[in-house]
Amino acid sequence: MTNLFPMFLKLEGRQCLVVGAGKVGEPKIGGLLETGARLRVVALDASPTVREWARAGKLDLELRAFSAEDLDGAFLAVVATNSRSLNERVYHEARNRGVLCNVVDVPDLCDFFYPAVVRRGDLQIAISTAGQSPSLAQKIRQQLEKQFGPGYAAWVAELGETRKLILASDLAKERKLDLLHSLASREALEAALAQTPELAAKGEGA
């Protein structure tokens, strides 16, 4: 069993490559676009959505066969084709260049995995089974979405602003830590939701 190192990456401004732009590649491309990465897509064909993103200047799209040089300067690569031989080629070329690579739905050809994610504003909870059972990861995600309702987004944002004020204050270090810990309690969340009933209602129905 491989021990994975869980982390959240900042991809803004980093060069990323996606090989394949069809039904499987499109959501991967969309997810990378949300990070602010500089995205290059190479594919023989592309979905209408990916073509529209290219026309809008959100990514560079090249409709042609993959070339090993496409990996030059890339920080990571995502491969989403239905060709086993091409998937293996891209993966090994990426490894030779020290580029992190994920071949979608092929765990043996992955340096990293896409987790199932619960997003509540700046709060993100990621679940991974190291590619062993994406279905289980999705089921756990659904359970966590019920536990962590939409109200958490506003609460986390408020916590961030309050944290800045506390850290900038003249309070003693111990007092600052006490306040920060108390703000992150369940009681503090319930009090925040009580002040915004509409968020609490959404959270209960999530």
Question: Per-10-residue mean pLDDT for the chain, 206 residues long?
Answer: 83 98 96 96 98 98 98 97 96 97 94 90 89 89 92 87 88 88 77 55 43
- Residues 61, 123: Cα–Cα separation, whole Å: 32
- Cβ atoms of 9 and 126 closer than 8 Å: no
**CATH topology classification for 15-113:** Rossmann fold (3.40.50)
Q: What is the pLDDT of residue 202?
A: 43
Q: What is the pLDDT of residue 195?
A: 61
Beta strands in 80-180 (DSSP E): 100-103, 116-120, 123-127
**CATH value of 115-147 in 2.40.50, 1.10.3470, 3.30.160, 3.90.550:** 3.30.160
Q: What is the pLDDT of residue 3?
A: 82
